[in-house]
Amino acid sequence: MTKDVGARPLPQTDRGRETRQKLLDAAESIFGSLGFHEASVTQIVGAAGVGQGTFYLYFGQKRDIFVALVDHLAKSLRHDLSRAISGLKTREEVERAGFKAFFAFVARHPMLYRIVRQAEFVDEEAFRAYYRTLARGYRRGLEAAMAQGEFRHLDAEALSYALMGIADFVGMRYVLWQDPGTVPAAVTEDLMHFILEGLRAVPTGQVPS
């Protein structure tokens, strides 16, 4: 039997939202461990502990839940980052807290790397949107720091992607490839020294030491 393909409206009840979240959590585990093409709806609903018919109340097909999962992970990450930097006064504090929050997030969601990389081939727009939305907020914060004289004036768009790349690969090295999956505090501090010394504003005619 072929199921209808297409987006489903978000549930309006607590029970519906809870069931949808169970499916997303199960999809994170299944897609992360098996890959998109090897994973099946049957495996996802089995891991979620719901019936197969329930799946189609929330998603039209396997690809729909995968795209929804990428979006959900991106929103969850942005939420954690926003909470971590709330109330901080300087951009240097924001950078340090943001990196730590990212490393903590990927420690809780180690399948994030595999899922996002798969997205490039399953739904390229979802893949690009994941990074674009993260970079958009990052760029605004960097531009504000530059405008206030905290950071040197550089290309904030390029810089946002460069800094995300640093966090992404360091997280991969220490969180994904190492047991226990944590970034040592000394490594984080070395990163901050490297990044902030390159970004910190200096008087005209001088160069960062």
What phi and psi, each to the nearest 5 degrees, are found at residue 200?
-60, 135
Q: What is the distance, to the nearest Å, from the Cα of residue 50 to the centroid of all Cα atoms in its chain?
A: 27
Gap between the Cα atoms of 50 and 12, Å rounded: 19
Domain boundaries, the chain: 63-199
Instruction: Dig out the tokens for 16 from the structure.
Output: 């519906």
25-29, 178-182, 190-194, 202-206: lowest mean pLDDT where?
A: 202-206
**Residue closest to 72 by CA, chosen among 108, 28, 113, 31:** 28
The residues with which 200 forms a beta bridge, in sequence order, are 151
CATH match for 63-199 among 1.10.357.10, 1.10.10.10, 3.30.420.40, 3.40.190.10: 1.10.357.10
**pLDDT grade, residue 11 (50/70/90)?**
confident
Alpha-carbon separation of residue 157 from 19, 24, 46, 132 (angstroms)? 38, 31, 42, 10
Query: What's the average model confidence in pLDDT over 133-150?
Result: 96
Is the per-residue pLDDT at 100 higher than 50? yes
Please give the mean pLDDT across all residues of the chain.
91
Residue the block writes with tokens 């970004």: 199
